[in-house]
Amino acid sequence: DGGITQSPKYLFRKEGQNVTLSCEQNLNHDAMYWYRQDPGQGLRLIYYSQIVNDFQKGDIAEGYSVSREKKESFPLTVTSAQKNPTAFYLCASSIGDRVLYNEQFFGPGTRLTVL
Amino acid sequence: RKEVEQDPGPFNVPEGATVAFNCTYSNSASQSFFWYRQDCRKEPKLLMSVYSSGNEDGRFTAQLNRASQYISLLIRDSKLSDSATYLCVVKQAGTALIFGKGTTLSVSS
């Protein structure tokens, strides 16, 4: 089945530790995205990548880092510099932002709790 | 001013009711528009795209008013399974999607 996988579903970390969230897609999509969602809030864009080996900061990139070494994979690292890392993290992919009506497909998300 | 604004609700309606959600966007350069649905503690999924002429998909009707920078979603004959958060989404050319905070709908029997 084609889709996006994120692992783990739940993640607990101690304050001050870096943590990497996994995102893999087999939809052959060029573009991938990371969003953060806090309770009662909308989705806020952290980073996005339109093509392999290239990525851009979104609205809230501070304290996060990404890599895009393979088309299928777009891991997100939450660093100790992120002040409030506890949130629901969603990864998405699409055929690309040059297409006006490009549906974004989301993974099931990772709930990160920093203790 | 937020780029995409929605009434957060919650909207509490009985089964069979008709309910309408509204959304406004601030950037007149926005070119494409969507409604996504998000169930509790799940990922968002595309409900429908919104085209200039308006479009319908079963019990769901979406309208776009570019002059007023306003998007709407109408749900007729509400079902229990329609309970969810509905996210208004806009896009400018070459940019990522911009999400509203969502409107929560609760349908009761």
Does the beta-carbon distance from B96 to A48 stay under 8 Å? yes
pLDDT recorded at residue A42: 86
In whole angstroms, how far apart are CA A45 and each of A59, B54, B56, B60?
A: 6, 28, 29, 28
How far apart are the CA of A91 and the nearest CA of chain B, in angstroms? 9
Tell me the mean pLDDT in the region A70-96: 94
Chain B residues whose CB is inside 8 A of the A103 CB are: 34, 46, 49
Residues 37-96 of A with CB under 8 A from B: 40-43, 45, 48, 58, 88, 90
Q: Do B99 and A101 touch (CB under 8 A)?
A: no
- Tell whether the model's pLDDT for residue B1 goes beyond 70: no
Left if phi > 0, otherwise alpha if psi is -120 to 50, otherwise beta: which for A100? alpha
Tens digit of each residue's pLDDT (9 = 90 or more) over B4-50: 999 888 999 999 999 999 999 999 999 899 999 999 989 999 999 99
- Contact flag B91-A106 (C-beta cutoff 8 Å): no
Judged against a pLDDT cut of 70, whether residue A17 lies above it is answered with: yes
Residue from A75, A70, A107 nearest A91 by CA? A107
Mean pLDDT, rounded, for A90-96: 94
Residue A1 has pLDDT above 70, yes or no: no
Task: Please give the C-alpha separations between residue B108 and each of A34, A55, B13, B88, in angstroms, as whole numbers.
Answer: 34, 44, 6, 23
